[in-house]
């Protein structure tokens, strides 16, 4: 895993967009992003049991696996959105980027590769893309039945109860740090 501030320069979303300014795991944790490197599935299984994830599936995001819809799907995944549940991804192969909003609403890019696991809290704005190799295989874990409902950023979504709860955790963390 490598995390850094996104450079916001024009260019394909699959390019690194590395500003050269790193972001620490501690900062990611302060915004609710959980990261672990798990070289074996047993560690994932233990985490799943601890957090109550009952279901899982695997998805391969690549032109070979998705055919003609690949480009449109990658663009759709890159639209800024949130979920009302945690988003959990365990990278089985390949690489991809999760971009998340920091405390000042700036983008942080998180590069994940094989055996990296990330959990994004409910209510955090984020987006996803493959890298320039156009291939990632990921396990998705779910607490209940598999669902993936993105709520694209808007004024209405800004007032979503899950978004408000998430923002409350940031304020609590900031107060605790001072």
Could you list the residues known to form a binding site for Fe(2+), using ranges.
81, 83, 87, 126
Cβ atoms of 1 and 90 within 8 Å: the answer is no
Q: How many helices (H) and strands (E) does the chain have?
A: 6, 11
Give the residue numbers of the binding site: 81, 83, 87, 126
Buried/exposed 126-151: b ≥16 CB within 10 Å, e otherwise = bbbbbbeebbbbbbbbbeeeeeeebb
* Residue 17, token pair as written in the block: 């967009």
91 Cβ contact partners less than 8 Å away, ≥ 6 residues apart: 112, 113, 114, 115, 116, 117, 136, 137, 138
24 Cβ contact partners less than 8 Å away, ≥ 6 residues apart: 3
Give the residue numbers of the binding site for Ni(2+): 81, 83, 87, 126
* Residue 21, token pair as written in the block: 């300014």
């Amino acid at each position: 895993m490598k995390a850094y501030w996104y450079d916001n320069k024009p260019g394909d979303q699959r390019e690194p967009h590395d500003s050269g300014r790193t972001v620490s795991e501690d900062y990611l944790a302060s915004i609710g992003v959980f990261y672990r490197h798990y070289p074996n599935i047993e560690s994932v299984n233990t985490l799943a049991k601890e957090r109550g994830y009952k279901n899982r599936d695997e998805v391969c995001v690549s032109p070979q696996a998705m055919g003609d819809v690949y480009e449109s799907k990658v663009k759709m995944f890159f639209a800024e959105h949130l979920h009302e549940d945690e988003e959990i991804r365990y990278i089985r192969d390949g690489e991809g980027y999760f971009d998340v909003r920091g405390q000042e609403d700036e983008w942080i890019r998180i590069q994940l590769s094989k055996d990296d696991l990330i959990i994004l809290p409910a209510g955090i704005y984020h987006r996803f893309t493959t890298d320039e190799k156009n291939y990632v295989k990921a396990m998705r874990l779910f607490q209940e039945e598999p669902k993936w409902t993105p709520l694209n950023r808007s004024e209405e979504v800004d007032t979503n109860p899950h978004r408000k709860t998430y923002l409350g955790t940031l304020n609590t963390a900031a107060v605790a740090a001072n």
